[in-house]
Amino acid sequence: MNPKSRNSRREMSKALSRVANASVSETLEEQKSIPINNLYRIGVTGAPGAGKSTLISHLASKRVQRDRKIGVIAIDPTSPVSKGSLLGDRIRMETVSDNPNIFIRSIPSRRAHDGLADNTADILWSMEDKNFDEVIVETVGVGQAEYSIRSLVDTVVLVLLPESGDAIQAMKAGILEMADIYVVNKSDLPGAEQMAGDIAVTAARKSGVKEEWIPKVIQTSNNNIDSFRALDEAIESHRIWRSEKVNRDEERRARILYQVQGLIGRRIEELIEVLTDSDLDKTPKEIYEILIENLSKFPK
Amino acid sequence: MALLGKRILIAKPGLDGHDVGAKIIALALRDAGADVIYTGLRKSPLYIARVAVDEDVDAIGLSILSGSHKEIVVQTLECLNELDASDIKIFVGGTIPRDDYEGLIAAGVRGVFTA
Ligand SMILES: Nc1nc2c(ncn2[C@@H]2O[C@H](COP(=O)(O)OP(=O)(O)OP(=O)(O)O)[C@@H](O)[C@H]2O)c(=O)[nH]1
Ligand SMILES: [Mg+2]
């Protein structure tokens, strides 16, 4: 089951694949006890092409300077037609790709449409005991990804572009309430200053409560490596704020609920895939009952 | 969808800057159901082997136009072996003279594909 390799990195990498490829029942069998939460989880989300991967590359190189071991889970979409994927995030992470303290794994979104992969929660769960200090998750660039990533990570970084209208769009979608840190990336392009100002005003608005975290707004650019230091520092202050203010029990319960919802969703998909033509000739109620009956058995 | 669930690294060793072929292969493999990762241009055999380990791929496709396919293949296989990953299969594409196919296969390449 766990073949020993003389290369510990290869062994860890293979163990991660086993989790990534596991069926629902295999996953459930593996998750025997609740791991101690060691891993600091950073989620990076934002529209396609906003610069998430490039930013993670810069951020990871800052985080390792804090003497931490960093895992990166980079999610790209599965093609709905072929079920294959082109996992292209890593190309933007070349400069940190062979740093011994940074491990990057590209994964396909598979059946999920919420910006994550359908097994992200299980992958993060398994990373708790693999000697990482932090994990950075890059979501697929789709709308609403903010909501799901929020349930799984400690610090949510939303990457925006300095194009006019983007701030309004973000306000409309309500995503300006989801993130802990707003990054106006590509700030070498015009409009960044204005955009950052708009967001800062909007974000500060919610700080009616004293105990609340006031989201930080940061401008970054690939042309100015130093700009990522401010992002690194903002994450650090959020981390410290959280360690004092956040109710870990409540959070753990919310996470495990998201995880179980994901497992049930995947199990339903597994059961749908094995429905026969004659099952599908029945009424919705009958098909529903078949599914519910099969769902109630422990997956084999 | 013959390649469903397979992970494949398309790698571009050597110094030439032409990767249209590599990208087309990457797309074709995706369309066949594989999860495909591309390294980007000008990567060393050690870099390629390390990425293959971290991404835990089933196979590596080396796209080589530089003429130094023999050296690159041998070095990549050596690096994989060093990282305890010699079970990762290697296939090669690009500009490879027919006379060299046999030598590459003997070195441990699983397939040679050229236009
Ligand atoms: N001008 C400018 N371009 C940038 C900057 N950062 C990234 N880019 C470019 O933006 C493009 C997209 O960058 P990525 O890092 O791949 O963006 P992403 O958000 O990860 O993209 P997806 O994963 O496809 O959603 C690339 O062509 C980058 O070179 C920046 O600071 N300034
Ligand atoms: Mg990306």
Nearest to A84 among B34, B46, B54 (CB): B34
Chain B CB contacts of A10 under 8 Å are 53, 83-85
A216-219 sheet: strands from edge to edge:
A102-108, A70-76, A134-138, A40-46, A155-160, A181-184, A216-219
A203 or A186: which leads in pLDDT: A186
Q: What per-residue confidence (pLDDT) applies to A148?
A: 87
pLDDT of A164 over the 60 cut: no
Q: What per-residue confidence (pLDDT) applies to A36?
A: 85
Domain count, chain B: 1
With cut-offs at 50, 70 and 90, classify the pLDDT of residue A265. very high
Task: Identify the domain containing residue B21 by its residue range.
Answer: 7-113
Angle between helices A248-273 and A120-127 (to 10 degrees): 130
A50 or B16: which leads in pLDDT: A50
Q: Which CATH number fits the domain that encloses residue B16? A: 3.40.50.280
Out of A204-218, A259-273, B89-103, pick the least confident: A204-218
Question: Which parts of chain B have pLDDT scores under 50?
Answer: none
Distances in Å between the alpha carbon of A16 and those of A25, A109, A144, A292? 16, 16, 27, 31
Ligand 1-lining residues (CB < 6 angstroms): A 46, 48-54, 89, 92, 141, 185-186, 188-189, 221-222
Domain A35-246 has CATH 3.40.630.30: no
- Ligand 1 binding pocket mutation candidate from A45, A52, A54 (most atoms within 8 A of CB): A54
Contact A83 B4 (CB under 8 A): yes
Chain A CB contacts of B36 under 8 Å are 84-87
Is residue A181 within 8 Å of A215, Cβ to Cβ? Answer: yes
Q: What is the pLDDT of residues B80-96, one digit of tens each?
A: 999 999 999 999 998 88
Residue B95: name the closest of B110, B77, B76, B115 by CA: B115
Q: What per-residue confidence (pLDDT) applies to A61?
A: 95
Q: What per-residue confidence (pLDDT) applies to A214?
A: 87
Q: How far is the CA of A270 from the centre of ligand 1 (A)?
A: 36
Domain range list for chain A: 35-246, 254-295
Biggest alpha carbon distance in chain B?
34
Q: What per-residue confidence (pLDDT) applies to A108?
A: 96
Residue B2 domain-assigned (yes or no): no
Nearest to A84 among B35, B40, B47 (CB): B35
- For ligand 1, atom 3, the nearest C-alpha belongs to A186
DSSP state of A78: B
Q: What per-residue confidence (pLDDT) applies to A1?
A: 46
Which whole number is the average pLDDT over A160-183?
74
pLDDT of A62 over the 50 cut: yes
Q: Which residues on adjacent β-strands are paired with residue A219?
A: A184
Could you tell me where the beta strands, DSSP code E, fall in A47-142? 70-76, 85-87, 102-108, 134-138
Q: What per-residue confidence (pLDDT) applies to A172?
A: 64
pLDDT of A204 over the 70 cut: yes
Q: Does the ipTM exceed 0.85? A: yes
Angle between helices A8-21 and A120-127 (to 10 degrees): 150
Q: Which amino acid is at A121?
A: A
Out of A54-63, A255-264, A265-274, B11-20, pick the least confident: B11-20
Residue B100 domain-assigned (yes or no): yes
pLDDT of A170 over the 80 cut: no
Residue ranges of the alpha helices (H) in chain A? 8-21, 24-30, 52-64, 120-127, 145-152, 166-173, 192-205, 227-245, 248-273, 277-280, 284-296
With cut-offs at 50, 70 and 90, classify the pLDDT of residue A155. very high
- For ligand 1, atom 12, the nearest C-alpha belongs to A49
pLDDT of A229 over the 90 cut: yes
pLDDT of A152 over the 70 cut: yes
Q: Which helix (H) or strand (E) holds B30?
A: helix B20-31
Q: What per-residue confidence (pLDDT) applies to A173?
A: 61
With cut-offs at 50, 70 and 90, classify the pLDDT of residue A299. confident
Residue B32 domain-assigned (yes or no): yes
Distances in Å between the alpha carbon of B61 and those of A46, A52, B73, B74, B113? 31, 27, 11, 14, 10
Nearest to A82 among B32, B50, B83 (CB): B32
A103 or A210: which leads in pLDDT: A103
The dihedral built from the CA positions of residue A240, A245, A248 and A253, taken in this order, carries a sign that is: negative
Q: Relative to the CA of A189, which ligand 1 atom is closest?
A: 1
Structure tokens given for A37? 């939460």
Cα–Cα distance, B56 to A14 (Å, whole number): 6
Structure tokens given for B113? 């594909």
Whole-number mean pLDDT of chain A? 90
A98 or A205: which leads in pLDDT: A98
